[in-house]
Structure 1
Amino acid sequence: MMTHVVFDFDGTLADSLGAIVQLYNALAEKSGYRPLTADNLEELRALSILDRCKRMGIPPYHLPSLAVQMGRNLRSAMTSIPFHEGIPELLRDLKARGMELFILSSNKEENIRAFLKHQAAEHLITGFHCSSSLFGKARMLRALMKANRLRPDQLVYVGDEHRDIVACKEAGVRVIAVRWGADADSRLREAGPDFLADTPADILACVSRWST
């Protein structure tokens, strides 16, 4: 029986795109990368991470250090980032139905905690599993299950990227992909999630079906 819902943070729960674009562009100017613009953002959503790097002039081996710098710089932006519309209600409804809620993210735990504190939502989240690695979510999911003595059928992961879906398949965990996040619909469908959500209410309905 499903008892846990594990969420990605940036793009899935938090509408952090604006802050990420601003911080990335500041780093890009110093490092010689191409900037993110309104014109190229939608195109990039349909590309893999490595193809995005090629378009933006970022050597792939720079990704780990770039992720660390972004995570460090995001700390000051946490009080200006909102939840996506409908997410607070979703979290409260899931909690009221007895679900344990976790966040698994490549963002820093201190950033996420600062965000939740500002949103008065700390009490809704049971635990966190965070790592700056962009491609380690399958390992993180396994670690979360081991630490909480969970079987794969007891949880579902909710994310917004192709790599989230791939990681869940590797870990044997069901995955709900959201259409309002980082990756375009075509990228999400290509990876084959168990469910595609248009709204947070779709997530609640899907979890309700799977948990009965």
Structure 2
Amino acid sequence: MITRWFRRRTPVGEVLLFDYDGVIADSEAVYFEEFTRACAEMGFDRLNSREAFLRLFDHNLALQLVRAGFPLRRLRQLAEQFRPRMVEANRRIRPFPGMPELIGRLATRHPLHIITSNATETVAGFLADYGVEGVRSVIGADQETSKVKKIRMVLRREPGRRAWYIGDTRGDMVEARRARVHAVGVAWGWHDEARLRSAHPVCVARTQGELLGWFDRPVVSLDEIE
């Protein structure tokens, strides 16, 4: 039904919305180490495996944390404790090979924005460090915590365009669909292809070449990538 709703509209063009962590930045190992450490320091030791950590990103992170038993009243304290730690940890994070070039290439084809749970300044600095040009905006958690609301912010800036959200977790796919944009998964990030497909994205790119092939054109064909 959602796909039929998209097809009934005639877009004036495409707009690409990229996640940062797990799509552009190879950050899972660093985040697992730092996030589980921060939780343990607050007395929450249930994130004792990689799977327990990844399960947090099946849906909204805060909701999943509470479901896992983390006290709701301490979420703000966790965020405050984790944020400065990640500023330092981000210095250890590198892009996936080829992603700076891919982002730069696609930004010459379509308006391209980055929507992230990371800090705007951190991501902007990362893009500058690796020579990524053409990104129209970075919208981080310091501007808005809800990914759905951030997607809608971009849609207001890019009226009439067909939007594609490119993410690497099941939760990304869920929130893209909630925002009524096309959800596209990438299989080189935090969640594997099967997990991504369980949230019913339009498609999952197994390689950067596949993603580039879909979007490095003036008009994207739904029939070719579904």
Alignment correspondent of 2:181: 173
- 1:206 partnered with 2:217: no
Per-residue CA deviation, residues 18-56 of structure 1 (Å, 9 max, x unaligned), is: 22123223313321122756xx2146435645556655x
- Asked if the contact 1:46–1:184 (Cα under 8 Å) also holds between the matched residues in 2, the reply is no
In 2, Cα distance between the equivalents of 1:172 and 1:152? 13
TM-score normalized by structure 2?
0.77
Q: Matches of residues 46-57 of structure 1 in structure 2 within 5 Å?
A: 48=58, 49=61, 50=63
Per-residue CA deviation, residues 157-205 of structure 1 (Å, 9 max, x unaligned), is: 1011222212222222112111222234333112100110111222112
Change (3 A) 1:69 1:9: farther
Alignment correspondent of 1:6: 17
Q: Which amino acid counterpart does residue 167 of structure 1 have in structure 2?
A: E
- 1:188 partnered with 2:199: no
CA drift at 1:111: 1.2
- Asked if the contact 1:152–1:173 (Cα under 8 Å) also holds between the matched residues in 2, the reply is no
CA drift at 1:63: 3.8
- Asked if the contact 1:53–1:60 (Cα under 8 Å) also holds between the matched residues in 2, the reply is yes
What is the aligned length? 205
Give structure 1 stretches of 5+ with no counterpart.
none
TM-score normalized by structure 1?
0.81
- Asked if the contact 1:2–1:156 (Cα under 8 Å) also holds between the matched residues in 2, the reply is no
1:137 aligned residue (142, 147, 172)? 147
Which structure is higher in helix share? 1
- Asked if the contact 1:64–1:132 (Cα under 8 Å) also holds between the matched residues in 2, the reply is no
Alignment correspondent of 2:81: 69
RMSD over aligned Cα, in angstroms? 2.8
Give structure 2 stretches of 5+ with no counterpart.
1-11, 222-226
In 2, Cα distance between the equivalents of 1:68 and 1:159? 25
